[in-house]
Amino acid sequence: MRRIYLDYNASTPIDPAVAAAMKPFLADHFGNPSSGHWAADAAKAALERARGQIAALLGCEGDEVVFTSGGSEANNLALKGAYFARRESGDHIITTRIEHPAIIEPCRFLERLAAPITYLPVDKFGRVDPDDLNRAITPRTILISIMHANNEVGTIQPIEECARIAREHGALFHTDAAQSAGKIATDVNGLGVDLLSIAGHKLYAPKGVGVLFVRRGVMLEPLIHGAGHESGRRAGTESAMLAAGLGQACELARDLTSIDRVRVLRDDFWHGLQEGFGNRIALNGHPADRLPNTLNVSFINCVGAEILKGLEGVAASTGSACHAGRIELSPVLQAMGVAPETGMGAIRFSLGRGTTREEIDAVAENLSRLPQLH
Ligand SMILES: Cc1ncc(COP(=O)(O)O)c(C=O)c1O
């Protein structure tokens, strides 16, 4: 059985340069970066270097980078941190119906504390309408959180416009860039955001590390109270090893030219499938404003999980789950209004640096031979 990995939106392998940057901290440099003696020096320097590398990717300052345990913690810190810091002046939060659970669930938690939350709808491509955002804002709106690009279908949101609307109304703007960092530009000033989350393992760094960009002057209540690490914004001794890895990954991610090759492979894959299957398949997500590595395709009247079972050795994801014998579409496909007979056959193929043309051709060939698709 040949193994082909097409699930880079779920996680990426650690880049060899990232592993090399981390290795000295496994072997030699064990010191606590907060200590005042020689044993801290290497760790302290690594943290500051990593902050600079991450800041260079995001177009921000090193002191605006807060290390977290990943994308989920960064999102939780943005939402709960803003709510607890600002609830004197308001409590209303606006987000969308297509966010990752790492946004939806903290919102549900805040709803249990009586925070009113608005979940904006999306169109059939998975895009938010900035006019809907404008209409949803109230004098009590403190925070707007809209993901940069969707993890399932790859649709990119009009963040610049939404962030401008937030600014006009004095609300903070957060974007979850876990999927977009390293695939498209994520310059915080270009986007106009106050808060932005990234997740290491989506951009060839390890799991268990992420960053929340916090614009200077934005106050957040920490989630983790303790000693004054991360300028009082997140307690806990920082891992110089994980920071060094994420820093190196961000340095590599600044060069977006390699993604052009991935985009070509992704588009050729789609065109090949269109030739073979015609109107028996449908594209989920925006045809143009979409992550360059993501192809979410529906095999109409088929079941995604069964197709994947037939594609032995291919790692990819489905957009539906089977609950009590019933196929249930993902909340993202539901919010896009995808019909059940289309959505149940959705498969997300997500490509990455390691993907080859040969692999794409092999998957296309295997799909064309599957009996259930004839
Ligand atoms: C859009 C998005 N946000 C947040 C996360 C969570 O990141 P982490 O796994 O680092 O907690 C993910 C991971 O699947 C994601 O795709």
Q: Model confidence over 237-291: pLDDT tens digits?
A: 999 999 999 999 999 999 999 899 999 999 999 999 999 999 999 999 999 999 9
Give, in order, the Cα–Cα distances in Å from 180 to each of 23, 51, 334, 348. Answer: 27, 19, 22, 16
Q: Model confidence over 79-108: pLDDT tens digits?
A: 999 999 999 999 999 999 999 999 999 999
Per-residue model confidence (pLDDT) at position 327: 81
Q: What is the mean pLDDT of residues 50-71?
A: 98
User: Which residue, by CA, sits nearest to atom 5 of ligand 1?
Assistant: 71
Q: Which of 47, 24, 22 is nearest to 230 (CA)?
A: 47
CA of 102 from ligand 1 middle (Å) equals 7
Other Cβ atoms less than 10 A from the Cβ of 351: the count is 26
pLDDT at 1 over 70: no
Distance CA 365, CA 368 (A): 5
322 is catalytic: yes
Instruction: Choose which residue among 153, 175, 179, 212 to substitute to test ligand 1 binding: the one with the highest number of ligand atoms within 8 A of its C-beta.
Output: 179
Per-residue model confidence (pLDDT) at position 62: 97
Q: Model confidence over 312-331: pLDDT tens digits?
A: 999 999 977 777 777 889 99
pLDDT at 332 over 80: yes
Inter-axis angle of helices 41-58 and 16-27, to 10 degrees?
Answer: 160
Distance CA 351, CA 197 (A): 22
Q: What is the mean pLDDT of residues 207-213?
A: 98
Distance CA 291, CA 293 (A): 6
User: Which residue, by CA, sits nearest to atom 9 of ligand 1?
Assistant: 71
- Kindly provide the residue ranges of all beta strands, DSSP E only, lying in the chain, ordered along the sequence: 4-5, 65-68, 92-96, 117-120, 141-145, 172-176, 195-199, 210-214, 281-284, 294-299, 314-315, 317-318, 320-323, 326-329, 346-350
State which amino acid sits at residue 48: E
CA of 192 from ligand 1 middle (Å) equals 22
Long-range contacts of 41-44 (CB under 8 A, 24+ apart): 42/240, 43/238, 43/240, 44/240
Both structure tokens of 374: 């004839």
CA of 200 from ligand 1 middle (Å) equals 9
Q: How many CA atoms lie within 13 A of 30 on its CB side?
A: 2
pLDDT mean across residues, the chain = 96
Per-residue model confidence (pLDDT) at position 319: 78
Q: What is the mean pLDDT of residues 136-160?
A: 98
Per-residue model confidence (pLDDT) at position 373: 86
